Amino acid sequence: MTIRIGDEAPDFTAETTEGPIKFHEWIGNSWAILFSHPKDFTPVCTTELGYMARLKPEFDKRNTKIIGLSVDPVSDHKNWVGDIAETQGYPVNYPLIGGEDLEVAKLYDMIHPNASGGTRTAADNATVRSVFIIGPDKKVKAMLVYPMSAGRNFDEVLRLLDALQLNAAHSVATPVNWKPGDDVIIPTSVSDEDAKKKYPQGFKTLKPYLRTVAQPK
């Protein structure tokens, strides 16, 4: 199936390094980030999982759960996490889904639908390096897909999450290279009259379609 922004995130039941989960129940009333990897015991993935462990307190502050997926069994994940802690300095502190049956990878359109399980190399799983940001309503809010050779920028995932949560709370948009605390954009769907009511402190009109205002608190 093809996943698009705004679709309901496919639900699934899976074994993880922290026990069995039913995905939607596991998300609960939180936001969630599902991020996947081509293979256990591979170099780029090792650095990524370690960095996400480092960032987990930041995601916790944002009411966001993180969960990883690799198309290997949970037993391999549990052996791999020691290498991650040793080389990256941070133990994995979030669940990793066992994905050797490729079910979740196919549900989220990360891999060819005709791919089969069994012994697979990282090259066989080349498309499985994806990020899905999912809201408490279980809808997909954003997606990122990277090739095998390029490690992801998870600081950018955190920045994107901040933008999505700000939009959800205040119905504003964020400009290029926005960072928390920067001015935001008033959507064109909001009239000047309504904007004056909503932002009595005032806003800046650069063009009728481009109006900026201080980030709402």
Q: Which residues does the annotation mark as catalytic?
A: 45
Listed residue (162, 126, 125) closest to 142, CA to CA: 162
Q: Helix or strand or coil: residue 14?
A: strand
Round to whole Å and give the CA distance between 118 and 146.
24
- Cβ of 147: how many Cβ atoms within 10 Å? 10
Handedness of CA 180, 37, 106, 79 (dihedral sign): negative
User: What one-character-per-residue DSSP string does 20-52 give?
Assistant: -EEHHHHHTTSEEEEEEES-SS-HHHHHHHHHH
Q: Helix or strand or coil: residue 98?
A: strand
